[in-house]
Amino acid sequence: MEIRRFKKLLVANRSEIAIRVFRAAHELGIRTVAIYSHEDRFALHRFKADEAYQTGTGKDPVKAYLDIEGIIQLAKDKGIDAIHPGYGFLSENAGFARACEKAGIVFIGPRSEILELLGNKISARQIAGQAQVPILSGNKYPIRHPDEAKAFCREVGYPVIIKAANGGGGRGMRIVLGESELVGRLNEAQRESMTAFGYDECFIEKYIEKARHIEVQILGDKHKNIVHLYERDCTLQRRHQKVVEIAPAQHLDASVRQDICNAAVKICKSVNYDNAGTVEFLLDTEKNTFYFIEINPRIQVEHTVTETITDIDIVKRQILISKGFPLDSPEIRIPNQESIQTRGVAIQSRITTEDPSNAFIPDYGRIQHYRSAGGMGIRLDAGTAFSGAIVTPYYDSLLVKVTASGICFEDAVNRMDRALDEFRIRGVKTNIPFLINLINHKDFLKGKCTTRFIDENKDLFR
């Protein structure tokens, strides 16, 4: 068994997730390296690493984190052993993973062929189907002509959802209620996909109207061992993007929970998955049946809730797996599935610098005053969040993630409510008032929400 030595680890990302990875690396005694764009020269992640280097030309704030050649060259020059890609940016880019491999640098994530297979939702659906996990009726190939789309929708019946095959973050997705809007929506989805992902390939899937989003955290090593770390409920979404996440899912039949977790492991075993990943499902609440939707082959924003209930540091395990340790090693300490137990309930809220009273328009500028929450059962994962920090318009608007835990759901909700109330953020608008409305809503407390809950309840925005 070959175990790699990591002396220096670079995070090809920014903000809270970069800081999250630095913490894990630090605890493992690995020296940390940040990259930052010109626009991020005052961002906190830069100062949280042992070394930091500017990337990009200073003209394109996003490209600084997408510049494969530049990042690899920097990594070679600085003697980097491993790169953690975080989420977003290059995290699911098979070309980047391959470039790392070629340069003799360990990419902390699944093998590049896995990224290739799973990055495309059409091929991921095929893999799930082959593993005999239920999938929704959907196209097997990208749609080439509107007539194909029409014929397919007539066959499966409306409503349907058009999705970008290479999509993510809720982009390139359109719900279609009837044939009259099909072609228009298809064009929109294809255009959006082209702009966001550089490909316009789209497919159509049957739309579940009353769905819950349940996903399973997976950990696999390089020795064919795979376990799940149970599920998260990410039903609370705004425009297909998660807002509040819960682990474990409440009001879920024990048998359905078991079947979903087993299905996730089955798919991952079928491709010999390694490192951390998340298998996402939709639960049709009317039929109590579930369907695979996609696999995210990377760490996710909401991994904190799983860490809280299992007491397993997922990011640390990602690094150790990449070094070559098997799950049952003394370093990773997951001898088998049965060794993973959950305790209590955890909820995560994503505090963003968006104005809920004005269509969630992102707000920018100087944070004049910042006082964060604390106390028992509260974990904070923040980006550049402090008095005097500047919020720029160039990146996503996540400011700080709040994870509240408790012995039961009610306990965790009460802590979250108290923590959200403790924040004092002046100078930029945040979505905190909306989050407070959301977690106190009677339907949320009763576990009655579906994925459309936020979009259909405009009174939450006041």
233, 294, 302, 307: residue in contact with ligand ADP (rule CB under 6 A): 294
Q: Which stretch binds ligand ADP (CB under 6 A): 104-112, 162-170, 255-263, 424-432?
A: 162-170
By beta-carbon proximity to ligand ADP, the closer residue of 21 and 454 is: 454
Asked if 264 interacts with ligand ADP (CB under 6 A), we say no
Whole-number Å distance between alpha carbons of 176 and 162: 7
Minimum distance between the CB of residue 247 and ligand ADP, rounded to whole angstroms? 16
Minimum distance between the CB of residue 415 and ligand ADP, rounded to whole angstroms? 26
Contact in structure between 52 and 46 (CB atoms under 8 Å):
yes
Asked if 451 interacts with ligand ADP (CB under 6 A), we say yes
- Using CA of residue 182, residue 186, residue 188, residue 189, what is the dihedral sign? positive
By beta-carbon proximity to ligand ADP, the closer residue of 300 and 318 is: 300
CA-based R_g, the chain, Å: 21
Contact in structure between 176 and 161 (CB atoms under 8 Å):
yes
Whole-number Å distance between alpha carbons of 18 and 407: 30
Question: At residue 136, what is the residue type?
Answer: L
Asked if 211 interacts with ligand ADP (CB under 6 A), we say yes
Asked if 197 interacts with ligand ADP (CB under 6 A), we say no
Contact in structure between 51 and 31 (CB atoms under 8 Å):
yes
By beta-carbon proximity to ligand ADP, the closer residue of 32 and 193 is: 193
99, 133, 136, 216: residue in contact with ligand ADP (rule CB under 6 A): 136
Residue tagged active-site, from 111, 212, 298, 350: 298
Whole-number Å distance between alpha carbons of 300 and 86: 8
CA 154 → CA 139, 158, 252, distances in Å? 13, 8, 33
67, 192, 280, 363: residue in contact with ligand ADP (rule CB under 6 A): 280
Is 462 catalytic? The answer is no
* Chain centre to alpha carbon of residue 183: 30
Q: Which residues are annotated as part of the binding site?
A: 121, 205, 240
Report the candidate in 263, 258, 219 with the shortest Cα–Cα distance to residue 129. Answer: 263
Q: Which two tokens stand for residue 195?
A: 């702009």
Q: Which two tokens stand for residue 343?
A: 């305790």
Minimum distance between the CB of residue 440 and ligand ADP, rounded to whole angstroms? 22
Asked if 383 interacts with ligand ADP (CB under 6 A), we say no
Minimum distance between the CB of residue 170 and ligand ADP, rounded to whole angstroms? 5
Convert residues 50-79 into a mask of x (bound to ligand ADP by CB under 6 A) and - (unbound). Answer: ------------------------------
Q: Which two tokens stand for residue 301?
A: 């924003």
Helices (H) and strands (E) in the chain, counts: 15, 22
Across 86-131, the runs of DSSP E, i.e. the strands, are: 106-107
DSSP 8-state symbol, 1:
-
Q: Which stretch binds ligand ADP (CB under 6 A): 69-77, 163-171, 244-252, 407-415?
A: 163-171
Asked if 167 interacts with ligand ADP (CB under 6 A), we say yes
Contact in structure between 389 and 408 (CB atoms under 8 Å):
no
Minimum distance between the CB of residue 134 and ligand ADP, rounded to whole angstroms? 12
Asked if 273 interacts with ligand ADP (CB under 6 A), we say no
Q: How many Cβ atoms from other residues are within 10 Å of residue 26's Cβ?
A: 15
Q: Which stretch binds ligand ADP (CB under 6 A): 160-168, 188-196, 224-232, 332-340?
A: 160-168
152, 207, 273, 325: residue in contact with ligand ADP (rule CB under 6 A): 207
Q: Which of residues 299-328 bind ligand ADP (CB under 6 A)?
A: none
Whole-number Å distance between alpha carbons of 243 and 457: 14
User: What three-state secondary structure class fits 29?
Assistant: coil
- The contacts of residue 22 (CB under 8 Å, 6+ apart) are 11, 32, 34, 45, 48, 49
Q: Which of residues 5-44 bind ligand ADP (CB under 6 A)?
A: none
Minimum distance between the CB of residue 422 and ligand ADP, rounded to whole angstroms? 30
Asked if 332 interacts with ligand ADP (CB under 6 A), we say no
Q: Which of residues 387-406 bind ligand ADP (CB under 6 A)?
A: none
Whole-number Å distance between alpha carbons of 335 and 332: 8
Q: Which residues are annotated as part of the binding site for ATP?
A: 121, 205, 240
Whole-number Å distance between alpha carbons of 382 and 379: 10
Asked if 293 interacts with ligand ADP (CB under 6 A), we say yes
Q: Which of residues 220-259 bind ligand ADP (CB under 6 A)?
A: 237, 240
Minimum distance between the CB of residue 417 and ligand ADP, rounded to whole angstroms? 25
Convert residues 88-127 into a mask of x (bound to ligand ADP by CB under 6 A) and - (unbound). Answer: ----------------------------------------
Helix (H) or strand (E) holding 353: none
Contacting residues toward ligand ADP, per CB under 6 A: 136, 161, 163, 167-170, 173, 205-208, 211, 213, 237, 240, 280, 282, 293-294, 451
Q: Which residues are catalytic?
A: 298
